[in-house]
């Protein structure tokens, strides 16, 4: 992938538009450095015209030594002999005039080709996957529709990314009616359905080409546009995609449909934690209780459960302690009800980014930090021989739900 760094969002967006979907805009050098530390397979960094020359040259000098396969491309408002000489000395890959967007595209394409050839000759991994600890995968689930899964998943992903502090990928597994793209006002060039023809060669390079970036630290893999496409996506492909993402992101957050389908089960198998959502109404609580019993029956480790109550302050005559007694499990997070939530979805901006001090944002951020980040991830995936058994059992159980 190619990173773009520019201090002016409008300029960064122009460069992003010119270079296409397989690029990521990063808002600061600090974020860029952290990103490069984690993503060892990056091909190129485009340094925009508002970044001062000295900083850009220092980056190129450092990368020439520490990451020879990474090309630094410099974009300037004016390209004169002095800039070209300095850039050459620093080991800059190419200098391009800001108005020459076609030249920039060609430079980045050349940089990518060169990086690929360098990797082929040195035999190094395209993604640096083997150097990186696995990220944490959190699946957001509730067996009843409309409980707030998409609301929690989008906001949890944004809270974990924390404006670029961490690298997060949000995956929309609601393959028939996914609305992550709408909730985040994205215009994706690709969806998860485009992974099907890539199945044989599914590495981070291939998966990255399907992602739609949202904001610093947060990217997305959105659901197909056509509802009927879901059947053509095998669950095994979902497992592979999630596995690749886990190896390359700090956190992977998965939004789900309100059903235990094969795709959701594949996500459960890969999950380090499952955020199980309910609201204070009897059908939602009944479904959560059945879900928990099912997970218990399957020996799905209770340490992975994270019970979350959405619209927790609704005055509906159900007390929290009664709910916990019925569920036989503690509710660890409560998200209040607020009309600002649908308003933020209509604006296409997660409320944790739009209004970080809002009670809903504070609740989701506290949940993210205390029960996801502080709890750490884990390598303890479900062994593959158990997965098939679990699927059969879960499917039988799902018919009851």
Ligand X SMILES: Nc1ncnc2c1ncn2[C@@H]1O[C@H](COP(=O)(O)OP(=O)(O)OP(=O)(O)O)[C@@H](O)[C@H]1O
**Residue 222 touches which member of Mg ion, ligand X, none, C-beta under 5-8 Å by kind:** none
What residues line the site for Mg ion (CB under 5 A)? Answer: 149-150
Select the residue interacting with ligand X from 149, 247, 263, 397 (CB under 6 A). 149
Q: Interface with ligand X by CB under 6 A: which range of 20-28, 267-275, 338-346, 381-389?
A: 338-346
Candidate residues 230, 245, 335, 352; the one interacting with ligand X per rule CB under 6 A: 335
Q: How many residues bind ligand X (CB under 6 A)?
A: 19
- HSE of 175 in the Cβ direction (CA atoms, 13 Å)? 21
Q: Are 114 and 126 in contact (CB under 8 A)?
A: no
Q: 83-112: string of b/e by CB count within 10 Å (b at 16+)? A: beebbeebbbbbbbebeebebbeebbeebb
- In the region spanning residues 252 to 271, those forming contacts with ligand X, defined by CB under 6 A, are 258
CB of 199 to ligand X, least distance (A): 26
- Give the strand order in the sheet containing 94-97: 23-26, 2-5, 44-47, 71-76, 94-97
Contact call for residue 331 and ligand X (CB under 6 A): no
Q: In this chain, which stretch among 8-16, 19-27, 139-147, 282-290 interacts with ligand X, using CB under 6 A?
A: 139-147
> CA torsion, points 53, 57, 58, 61, in degrees to nearest 10?
180
Cβ atoms of residues 164 and 25 within 8 Å: no
CB 340 to ligand X: min, Å:
8
Can you tell me which of 151, 191, 208, 239 binds ligand X, judged by CB under 6 A?
A: 151
Binding partner at 246 among Mg ion, ligand X, none, C-beta below 5 to 8 Å by kind: none
**Residue 309: helix, strand or coil by DSSP?**
strand
Rounded to whole angstroms, how far apart are CA atoms 294 and 305?
12
CA gap 2, 39 in Å, rounded: 11
- CB nearer to Mg ion: pick between 71 and 278: 278
Please check whether residue 70 is in contact with residue 139, taking contact to mean a CB–CB distance below 8 angstroms.
no
Per rule CB under 6 A, is residue 345 in the interface with ligand X? yes
Among ligand X, Mg ion, none, residue 337 binds (CB under 5-8 Å by kind): ligand X
* Smaller CB separation from ligand X, 117 or 347: 347
Smallest separation, CB 238 to ligand X (Å): 17
x/- letters, 57..96, toward ligand X (CB under 6 A)? ----------------------------------------
Is 132 one of the binding residues for ligand X (CB under 6 A)? Answer: no
Collect all residues with Cβ–Cβ distance below 8 Å to 231 and sequence separation of at least 6.
none
Q: Should residue 342 be labelled a site residue for ligand X when binding is judged by CB under 6 A?
A: yes
Which among Mg ion, ligand X, none contacts residue 104 (Cβ within 5 to 8 A by kind)? none
Distance in Å, CB of 174 to Mg ion, minimum: 5
- Binding flag, residue 50, ligand X (CB under 6 A): no
Which residue matches tokens 């099912």?
A: 294
Residue 112's contacts (CB-CB under 8 Å, 6 or more residues apart) are: 2, 43, 44
- How far apart CA 42 and CA 225 sit, in angstroms, is 29
310 near ligand X, judged by CB under 6 A: yes
Binder to ligand X among 20, 68, 133, 145 (CB under 6 A)? 145
Please list the helix, strand and coil fractions of the chain in percent, rounded to the nearest 5, in that order. Answer: 50, 15, 35
Report, in Å, the least distance between residue 145 CB and Mg ion.
8
Which residue, among 314, 201, 178, has the nearest Cα to 255 in the 3D structure? Answer: 178
Question: What are 318-321's contacts with CB under 8 Å, separation 24+?
Answer: 318/280, 318/281, 318/285
Name, in order, each residue with C-beta under 8 angstroms of 126's C-beta and a sequence gap of 6 or more. Answer: 41, 116, 119, 203, 204, 205
Binding status of residue 338 toward ligand X by CB under 6 A = yes
Question: Of 41 and 224, which CB lies nearer to Mg ion in the complex structure?
Answer: 224
Among 249, 250, 314, 253, residue whose Cα is nearest residue 279: 314
Interacting residues with ligand X between 354 and 383 (CB under 6 A): 360
Toward ligand X, which CB reaches closer, 50 or 338?
338
What is the binding site for ligand X (CB under 6 A)? 142, 145-151, 174, 258, 310-311, 335, 337-338, 341-342, 345, 360
């Amino acid at each position: 992938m190619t990173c773009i760094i520019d201090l002016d969002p409008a300029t960064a967006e122009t460069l992003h538009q010119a270079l296409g979907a397989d690029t990521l805009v990063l808002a600061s050098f600090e974020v860029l450095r952290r990103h490069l530390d984690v993503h060892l397979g990056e091909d190129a960094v485009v340094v925009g015209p508002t970044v001062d020359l000295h900083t850009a040259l220092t980056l190129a000098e450092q990368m020439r030594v520490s990451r020879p396969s990474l090309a630094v491309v410099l974009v300037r408002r004016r390209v004169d002999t002095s800039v070209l000489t300095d850039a050459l000395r620093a080991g800059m890959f190419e200098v391009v005039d800001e108005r020459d967007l076609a030249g920039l595209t060609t430079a980045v394409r050349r940089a990518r080709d060169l990086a690929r050839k360098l990797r082929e000759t040195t035999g190094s991994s395209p993604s640096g996957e083997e150097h990186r600890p696995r990220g944490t995968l959190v699946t957001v689930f509730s067996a009843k529709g409309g409980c707030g899964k998409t609301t929690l998943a989008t906001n949890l992903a944004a809270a974990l990314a924390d404006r670029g502090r961490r690298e997060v990928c949000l995956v929309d597994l609601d393959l028939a009616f996914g609305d992550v793209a709408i909730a985040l006002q994205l215009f994706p060039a690709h969806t998860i359905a485009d992974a099907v023809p890539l199945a044989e060669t599914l590495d981070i390079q291939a998966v990255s080409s399907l992602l739609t970036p949202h904001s610093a630290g947060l990217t997305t893999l959105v659901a197909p546009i056509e509802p009927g496409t879901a059947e053509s996506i095998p669950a095994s492909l979902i497992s592979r995609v999630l596995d690749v993402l886990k190896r390359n992101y700090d956190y992977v957050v998965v939004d789900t449909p309100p059903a235990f389908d094969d795709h959701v089960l594949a996500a459960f198998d890969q999950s380090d934690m499952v955020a199980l959502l309910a609201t204070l109404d009897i059908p939602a609580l009944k479904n959560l209780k059945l879900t928990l019993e099912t997970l218990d029956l399957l020996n799905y480790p209770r340490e992975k459960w994270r019970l979350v109550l959405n619209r927790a302050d609704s005055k509906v005559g159900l007390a929290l302690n009664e709910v916990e007694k019925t569920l036989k499990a503690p509710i660890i997070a409560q998200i209040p009800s607020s009309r600002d939530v649908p308003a933020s979805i209509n604006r296409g901006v997660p409320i944790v980014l739009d209004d970080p001090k809002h009670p809903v944002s504070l609740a989701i951020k506290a949940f993210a930090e205390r029960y996801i980040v502080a709890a750490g991830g884990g390598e303890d995936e479900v062994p593959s021989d158990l997965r098939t058994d679990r699927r059969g059992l879960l499917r039988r159980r799902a018919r009851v739900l």
